[in-house]
Structure 1
Amino acid sequence: MPLVVNPNWQYSSGISGKGALVSEARAILREIDQGHDSDAVRRMVIEDDLLGRRTLGSREAIWDKLHLRYISNRTPKSLTTLARIVTHCPSETAADLVLFYEFCQVNPLLYDLTADCTYELYHNARTSIDKVDIEQWLSAQDSEHPEIGNWSPQTRGKVISSYLSIIRDFGLVTGIRQKVFRKMYVPAEAFLYALYHQKDRGLAGKAIIQSRDWRLFLMTEDDVVFLLEEAARDGFVRFRHAGDIYDLGFSYPNLHEVVDAIVN
């Protein structure tokens, strides 16, 4: 059964601008990992052209996008933890999935499109996802999300194209014209980041295992159980299960501590 999308979240067409910005996100987080605060990094982006953009307007626009996705409304500790895993993670795939995970947490449309539409297509033996799939999904949300109806056809088209480019750039699909699903492999580092992220938000036990967040990595509950068993063998968690009864404990007190263990 598909999960019902969250009607309390307001959808924004903001994903239609600037794309995934993966390398740009890595660049600013690298500076934060080196000890610069967000004000200093903003100056690097806008005044010193850290990201290689010619015009002041484009530098400001990119900074605003990245700030919203990865910096605003974060505690300093949360920000340095994110910067640390993205900068020092031994797996580039894992770092990209962490960036995608965090982007989804602050963008309801990106979250729901992935956890509902993309997830369902992937697990119903579809080999690809296209503009028609996204258009049909958006149309099905009109009653719960009337804000979609305020978008012009041009804006709607940009949202659809941008979404497909974003999931390609973050590694869920491949291809320029046709977006073909990759066989998803979630590295341990990305799994552990999302796991402890949910722990820090107050989820525990079965609620974590059945969390909708795992759909952002196109993972089923069986996939989660398999990676929990691996994580237990590696000492990151304590995990036992029998049928649908789960016993999950954590070896580290929070996300910050487990990230230190991952990168050291």
Structure 2
Amino acid sequence: MVEQYYTTQLSAGLGLREETKGLFELWQPGMNTQQLCDVALESGSFPNVTARRLRNIVAECFFPRYLRNEGVAQQVKELLPILSTSEMSQVFYLYTARANFILAEFVKDVYWQKYASGYQSIHVDDSKAFVELGLQDGKMKKSWSDTTIKRVSSYILGCLVDYGFLEVHNRSERRLIPPRISDHIAVYLAYELHFSGLGDNAVINHPDWQLFGLNPDDVREELKALAVNRHWIIQAAGDVVQISWAYKNMEEVINVVA
């Protein structure tokens, strides 16, 4: 497994929901980042974004989230027109967390732990302490200054505000408003993991589910509930799970979600 490090990449853009949606409307299969930048600049769809800023969004945000792995952008582009606003946010959140290890770790180790412990909010100092701990544990390739630590701490919280996981309460606190993973996104994620080559138990135990606060037991129950809609047949005996998958490819999955 490739070792992952915390980076400052969130400084290039947080949730970027509307910008991402706009870029997907323009992106076509085969486009690289430069071509997408050129099309976006010529389109007039981003009148309040400078050319430099738009290039930064495409190269530092859109590319690592959706173009680094083959097939992702095409799937998301086909999915977006049929999703609700909240479901769209969950898809963007999933790929942003995958591309930003620091965000994924914060959600798993701090956000959901706070929620499970009965807290109603997260303090900005919680985020700062998390980043500082990461520095102590060697999760950055090089040391970060206090200013960088403070900025990245705020970016993490800001990103979760953008995706509807937090609400600004006051200057120092963000209220927890954890969304439940939608049925459509659960089906999409399960099949995406399945078609990536994972076995049934590996799908159930994949860390991506933790981004939505689900442990393996939760995932099993979620998939059992969704089996009623004939997305799959699931049999579980103890920790061993066997799934008979109903769809042959992601195109079929997206058609069913629609």
TM-score between both structures, scaled by the size of structure 1: 0.86
1:247–1:166 Cα change, 3 Å: same
1:117 aligns with 2:115: no
Q: Equivalents in 2 of 1:46, 1:71: separation in Å?
A: 19
Amino acid of the residue matched to residue 43 of structure 1?
D
TM-score between both structures, scaled by the size of structure 2: 0.87
Contact 1:96-1:170 at 8 Å conserved across structures = yes
1:106 aligns with 2:127: no
What is aligned with 1:168? Answer: 161
Q: How much has 1:83 moved relative to structure 2?
A: 0.9
Secondary structure, aligned partner of 1:142: helix
What is aligned with 1:3? Answer: none
2:245 alignment partner, one of 250, 254, 260: 250
Q: How much has 1:103 moved relative to structure 2?
A: 1.3
Q: Equivalents in 1 of 2:26, 2:50: separation in Å?
A: 21
Q: Equivalents in 2 of 1:151, 1:183: separation in Å?
A: 30
Amino acid of the residue matched to residue 144 of structure 1?
D
Contact 1:237-1:248 at 8 Å conserved across structures = yes
Aligned ranges 1:147-158 → 2 under 5 Å: 147=140, 150-158=143-151
Amino acid of the residue matched to residue 83 of structure 1?
K
Aligned ranges 1:233-248 → 2 under 5 Å: 233-248=228-243
Amino acid of the residue matched to residue 80 of structure 1?
Q
Q: Equivalents in 1 of 2:78, 2:193: separation in Å?
A: 18
Q: Equivalents in 2 of 1:150, 1:110: separation in Å?
A: 18
Q: How many pairs are equivalent?
A: 255
Q: Equivalents in 2 of 1:104, 1:224: separation in Å?
A: 19
Q: How much has 1:69 moved relative to structure 2?
A: 3.5
Q: Equivalents in 2 of 1:129, 1:115: separation in Å?
A: 14
What is aligned with 1:96? Answer: 89
1:146–1:97 Cα change, 3 Å: closer
What is aligned with 1:57? Answer: 52
Aligned ranges 1:102-251 → 2 under 5 Å: 102-145=95-138, 147=140, 150-175=143-168, 177=170, 178-251=173-246
What is aligned with 2:62? Answer: 67
Contact 1:199-1:254 at 8 Å conserved across structures = no
Contact 2:122-2:175 at 8 Å conserved across structures = yes
Q: How much has 1:165 moved relative to structure 2?
A: 1.0
What is aligned with 2:75? Answer: 81
1:10 alignment partner, one of 1, 5, 10: 5
Alpha-carbon displacement from aligned partner over 1:214-235 (angstroms, at most 9, x marks no partner)? 1111223343123202221111
Q: How much has 1:187 moved relative to structure 2?
A: 0.8
1:27 alignment partner, one of 10, 15, 22: 22
Higher mean displacement: 172-181 or 230-239? 172-181
Contiguous gaps of at least 5 residues in structure 1: 1-5
Question: Aligned-pair RMSD on alpha carbons?
Answer: 2.4
Contact 2:66-2:72 at 8 Å conserved across structures = no
Higher mean displacement: 151-160 or 62-71? 62-71
Alpha-carbon displacement from aligned partner over 1:64-101 (angstroms, at most 9, x marks no partner)? 233324343232x4321111112322x22122111111
Higher mean displacement: 144-153 or 123-132? 144-153
What is aligned with 1:46? Answer: 41
Contact 1:198-1:208 at 8 Å conserved across structures = yes
Amino acid of the residue matched to residue 9 of structure 2?
G
Higher mean displacement: 192-201 or 64-73? 64-73
